[in-house]
Chains A and B, each alone.
Chain A
Amino acid sequence: MAAAGRVGDGPLLRRILIAVAVTGTLVFLLAPIAVIGALALGSGIGAFLDAIAQPETLHAIGLTVLTAVVVVPINVVFGICAAWAIAKFSFPGKRLLLTLIEIPFSVSPIVAGVMYIFLYGAQGLFGPWLQEAGVQVMFTVWAIFLVSLFVTCPFVARELIPLMQAQGSEEEEAALTLGASGFQTFVRVTLPNIKWALLYGAILCNARVMGEFGAVSVVSGNVRGQTNTLPLQVELLYNSYNTVGAFAAASTLAVLALLTLGAKLLLERHGHVGEALDAAPVPSTRLSLAGDRA
């Protein structure tokens, strides 16, 4: 009996468990993607293309891309800075700093939006000053940029920190000893070592920026055709019973999600890349040897 192998290797149990896992995944995780496709294309490819080509939907796509173009590079720079300081040096309060970086993942998107209202809104901390200066932040694209920065600021940092900690500093020290400048060392030595993790972090950051709903919904003011990002446009079309329009817009975001998963599969082959996509409050919960909880 012991020769039958490890626990759970019995053929019947094995088949039942695989069947449960596969069926559960199809019914529960994949069906939403299928229904989006079915409803987006349900009235034909022509109707689908017409729905995508609506000026408001096109505008929402444009604003979504613009937000990503603004937010992702900033959080890439932040991620590199944070990872360099945390992984290459030792200082007191490191755990606290790591927790601080993770806060946006623990906070509900709605609460994130509300926080920004109480900072930059008319009722907020800076409200009176901003009003005096004639600057409107809330309910404009600037508010969308700001909350997106908040929501996605941990993504790049959390990919880089465990990797750079594991790699150590010997290579950088050797380059410096040989007379390279700090910047040269970073570009020629560090960057090649972290490029795939950096790319992966940026892809995750991008997916979340483009897909964020709650936080953006609070601060955008939902001005049709002006401050509607794609997820907000999905909501607007859905609530006005425009099924084809809503699901056509949703399908572009579903394709983005599938591309993100594809990128993950590809980048995993290069190693050193985390396993799950988002968003746990604690960095090292994944318990893998790499120690990252992606």
Chain B
Amino acid sequence: MKRHVLPGFSLTMGLTLLYLVLIVLLPLSALILKAASLEAADYWRIVSSQRAVATYRVTLTAAAWATLFNAVFGLTLAWVLVRYSFPGKRLLDAVVDLPFALPTAVAGVALTALFAQTGWYGRLLAPLGISVAYTPVGIAVAMAFTSAPFVVRTIQPVLEDLRPEVEEAAQSLGASDLQVFARVIFPLIFPAFLAGCALAFARSLGEFGAIVFIAGNLPFRTEITALLAYIRLDEFDYPAAAAVASVMLGAAFVMLLVTNSIQFWVQRHSERA
């Protein structure tokens, strides 16, 4: 009751709601209305067309690989940043955020330049018969880059808060480092680890800028769902653009629900720990 002393609730709340309606809710409803105005049969024909299904497969597969990579790399990076001290550690910690700070289109052209046949990495990989640019692998690389910080940043604080006693107990009973990590530490950081992976995966599903440059964008092979929506719009095929975009929106909301649930679990888990 004492809090009601503060003024400005109706003003700030009013402005916040008005702004959210104008900038977020109205455009959101416009897309949903457009997609809902399609005949059910037409909608289904568009979103289940072979080309659309191929984009889901390409996007989901690449996002899964990218997330798997970031799960391992992110866990290693978080561990090193929390557990060890060494010269340059603060700089390393700062660089982790680079993928979030670098515009996606810039990341896209840079990664393409690195992995093209004549690029620094492409040149090394070509004799091994590996090509990354203009293949599905390139899509996974671009996704892995743009979502790299998520796993590190979600694990880091949990790892920092881990009390030494938990490990010491297991160590004093004769458990090896690997056993302590697998049986004691990893279960404790697992919810946060999962949250980081879910965030990285969600981000990869929606990524566009970094991917279009490196993907090659061949229908059925290296075309992602976001690009298909973009192409349909470019062809003035508005119903198809609305339908494909609504599928992406649905996927985003599912991922939001998943991350929210994991998040809720994480909070309860960390309160117990």
Contacts and interface: CB of A to CB of B under 8 A. Distances in A.
A206 B203 CA distance: 20
B209 A214 contact: yes
Interface in A203-226: 207, 210-214, 217-218
Judged by DSSP, the binding face of B is helix
Contact of B16 (A81, A103, A115): A81
Contacts of A101: 20
Contact of B177 (A7, A20, A103, A153): A7
A110 B226 contact: yes
A111 B157 contact: no
Contact of B30 (A13, A110, A125, A172): A125
A169 B27 CA distance: 35
Contact of A13 (B96, B154, B177, B227): B177
Contacts, number: 332
Given A264-B94, A277-B97, A108 B109 contact: no
Contact of B102 (A21, A32, A102, A118): A32
A22 B92 contact: yes
Interface residues of A, number: 109
A82 interface: yes
B68 interface: no
Given A7-B167, A100-B24, A21 B80 contact: yes
Contact of A32 (B25, B145, B266): B145
Given A84-B8, A108-B205, A287-B154, A6 B213 contact: no
Interface of A is mostly: helix
B113 A35 contact: yes
A123 to B, nearest CB: 5
Size class of the B contact interface (CB-based, 8 Å): 35 or more
Nearest to A39: B113
B174 to A, nearest CB: 8
Interface string B139-163: 0000011001110011011100000
Contacts of A123: 34, 238
Contact of B83 (A8, A213, A232, A279): A8
A285 B80 contact: no
A149 B19 CA distance: 10
B54 interface: no
A14 B166 CA distance: 20
A110 B102 contact: no
A28 B145 CA distance: 7
Contact of A149 (B5, B23, B30): B23
B100 interface: yes
Interface stretch (A43-51, A192-200, A247-255): A247-255
A144 B97 CA distance: 26
B26 to A, nearest CB: 6
Interface of B: 2-9, 11-13, 15-16, 19-20, 23-31, 33-34, 73, 76-77, 79-81, 83-84, 86, 88, 90, 92, 94-107, 109-111, 113-114, 119-121, 144-145, 148-150, 153-154, 156-158, 164, 167-168, 171-172, 177, 180-181, 185, 192, 195-196, 199, 202-203, 205-209, 213, 226-227, 229-230, 233, 238, 241-242, 245, 248-249, 252-253, 255-256, 259-260, 263, 266-267, 270
11 contacts: A31-B120, A32-B106, A82-B16, A90-B3, A99-B256, A109-B206, A114-B242, A173-B2, A207-B101, A211-B106, A287-B267
Given A9-B83, A207-B101, A278-B100, 6 more contacts: A108-B226, A111-B31, A146-B23, A153-B23, A285-B199, A288-B157
Which 4 A-B pairs rank lowest in CB-CB distance, beginning with the nearest? A211-B103, A108-B206, A277-B100, A32-B110
